[in-house]
Amino acid sequence: MDWLEVSVATTAEAHEAVAERLMALGARGVVFGEADGAVVVTAYLPEEAEGRLEALAEEVRSLRSFGLDPGPGTVTVRRAREDDWAEAWKRYYRPVPVSERLIIVPAWEDPPEDGRIVIRLEPGMAFGTGTHPSTILALRAIEATLRPGEAAIDVGTGTGILAIAMAKLGAASVRAIDVDPVAVAVAEENVRRNGVADRVTVRAGDLVAGETGPFDLLGANILPDVHERLVPEAVPRLRSGGRIVLSGIIEAEAERMARLLFAHGLIELKRLSADGWTALWAVRP
């Protein structure tokens, strides 16, 4: 199957709006990068979306009418076969040290023998390889707050990376949820690959719909606008003393997310930042 690799050059203030428009076209996820001073939002779209790319470019330009500076607003397209896409990852995806305890290793490489907990990943057509600062921050926050034996949930699991880390750090049970069935399939395979299928359950779903909890820890590395939907749904599913880790947040949005947590009765415990990105975690009293 052929895919369209679509990249939009924009600004930090408009990147979420651009990501939402790519998702509306059928993207299974987005990745953020930087080039020539612009934020580059990249997604893989099905071929049938090609006829809607001119409209996408117009929608990006029209963000000015919503008070957002779209920046360059340029849309570039490259065709990619699914197997070519997977092989492209292997050319530059290398082990990613997360902390003194955690390291992410591609499935096709041998892990270093340094005593760290190894998370082995094959990204397939899902997102969440561990190379992005938002993923690393989420993993560090989870490592800092998770206690052995707890019940955890990973919302927007992608490749399953956060859920796998939760299990390997000692969670007794983990729910891994994603709205995209392709991500669910990739996450299930990565869960088996890491030997944690006895503790991690992966399923398709919209945020925490259908989940009753109660959970000791919820982790989500997703867009801030999705956090706004998630937090009010998540709080009733947390135990008293349960924590929530939010990542995927640019530093400019951190205060807005902190206010969101406070508005729903959560007490912020800490935040981590790196390369313009922030992760926050908070507790339900």
pLDDT at 100: 85
What are the structure tokens assigned to 196, written together?
Answer: 């944690």
Buried-state track 180-189, b at ≥16 Cβ within 10 A, e below 16:
beebbbbbbb
pLDDT at 32: 74
Contact 180, 127 (CB under 8 A): no
Residue 135 annotated as binding site: yes
Residue 158 annotated as binding site: no
Residue 178 annotated as binding site: yes
Domains and CATH numbers, the chain: 2-88 (3.30.70.260), 93-283 (3.40.50.150)
Over residues 249-265, the pLDDT tens digits come to 988 889 999 999 999 99
The predicted model scores a pTM of: 0.77
Contact 248, 222 (CB under 8 A): yes
pLDDT at 86: 59
pLDDT at 265: 97
pLDDT at 160: 94
pLDDT at 177: 97
Q: How far is CA 67 from CA 39, 223, 249, in A?
A: 17, 19, 20
Residue 73 annotated as binding site: no
Over residues 90-144, the pLDDT tens digits come to 665 678 889 889 999 888 888 888 889 999 987 665 555 667 788 899 999 999 9
Q: Which ranges of the chain have pLDDT less than 70?
A: 1, 28-29, 82-93, 123-130
Question: What angle do the packed helices 224-234 and 254-263 form, to 10 degrees?
Answer: 20
